[in-house]
Amino acid sequence: MTSRILLSMVCTACLISVPAGAQETEAPDQQPTLRFEGYPGARDFEVVPRKDKLFFYPCTQCHRFLEPNPEVRELAAPHDIKLEHGRGRIWCLSCHSLENRDNLRTLLDEPVDFDDAYLVCGGCHANRQQDWYFGVHGKRLANWQGERKLYNCTECHDAHSPAIKPRNPKPPPPVRAGLERVPGAEYEQHPVWETLEEQEDQ
């Protein structure tokens, strides 16, 4: 019984870590690897670039003079970042390439451009990535018609602390011309809603 449970857990982990649409590819003299090719049925899209908004990019302007150091450690300035991501299970080189600092990396150690960060995020967050591909999660440039230009995950989520911070609510919109705000009235008690309920009952 225990072996069945263990096998079930391993299979579930494999299914979660490989999103739908991943294809097996085999390069000469290499073991076959899974490369994510997108989700079947998702419409084509373009991602709004972000590299021009990154303060330290390109990273090689400094890192070309530094010896790569894979040791897990607390970073100092200018990267004195407190990593609040992954609950201690990941660190910088889980997502950043050690050898080519101008690239990110997947869990399969494939290079990823900073403008394609969603490919890195999907390695751990496949469900959210799938929602993003189909337009359920995330934001879009302009409107919902025409070409799909999507904002990257890192447009809304800080990669080092991705949880959305609480914000104060915005004030209510102004009352349209010709209408009056009813002070202190709950919407269920408002005459408009009472009228609609009476119409539904008839």
pLDDT (tens digit per residue) in 139-153: 998 887 888 999 999
Query: Any idea where the domains of the chain sit in the sequence?
Result: 44-165
pLDDT band at 10, cuts 50/70/90? very low
- Among 111, 116, 176, 183, residue whose Cα is nearest residue 152: 116
What local confidence, expressed as pLDDT, does residue 202 receive? 58
Q: Is residue 19 helix, strand or coil?
A: coil
| Spatial distance between the Cα atoms of 22 and 36, rounded to a whole number of angstroms | 4
- Specify the pLDDT at position 192: 52
Question: Could you report the per-residue pLDDT of 114-133, keeping only the tens digit for each?
Answer: 999 999 999 999 999 999 99
pTM of the model: 0.68
pLDDT at position 171 is 84
Q: In degrees rounded to 5, what are phi and psi of residue 11?
A: -65, -40
pLDDT of res. 15: 35
List 105's β-bridge partners, or say none. 111
User: Which two tokens mark 80?
Assistant: 């004195």
**Element housing 119 (H / E):** helix 117-121
Q: How many CA atoms lie within 13 A of 197 on its CB side?
A: 8
Which has more pLDDT, 20 or 75?
A: 75
Averaged confidence pLDDT in the chain: 80
The answer to whether residues 157 and 175 touch, using CB atoms and an 8 Å cutoff, is no
Two structure tokens written together for 174: 């102004």
Helix (H, G, I), strand (E, B) or coil at 46: strand
pLDDT band for position 197 (cuts 50, 70, 90): low
- Decide if pLDDT at 157 tops 90: yes
Contact yes or no for 17/126 (Cβ under 8 A): yes
Structure tokens at 145: 């018609």
Q: Which residues contact 160 (CB under 8 A, 6 or more apart)?
A: 81, 82, 83, 84, 85
